[in-house]
Amino acid sequence: MISLQEFNQDGLLQSVAVAIFSAGLWLLMRGRKKIPGATLDQVPGPPVSSWWKGHQAQMNNLKDGWSFHQMLAENYGPVVKLQTVFRKNVFYTFDPKAMNHILLKEMNSFPPLRIETADVFLGKGLLGTVGDVHRRQRKMLNPVFSIAHMRS
* Neighbouring-strand partners of residue 112: none
* Rg value, the chain, Cα: 25
pLDDT band for position 65 (cuts 50, 70, 90): confident
Beta strands in the chain (DSSP E): 79-83, 89-93
Predicted TM-score (pTM) above 0.75? no
d(Cα 51, Cα 48) in Å, to the nearest integer? 7
Rounded to a whole number of angstroms, the distance between the first and last alpha carbons of the chain is 85
Q: How far apart are CA 129 and CA 119, in angstroms?
A: 7
Residue 148 is predicted with a pLDDT of: 83
Q: Name the most confidently modeled range: 73-87, 121-135, 137-151.
A: 73-87
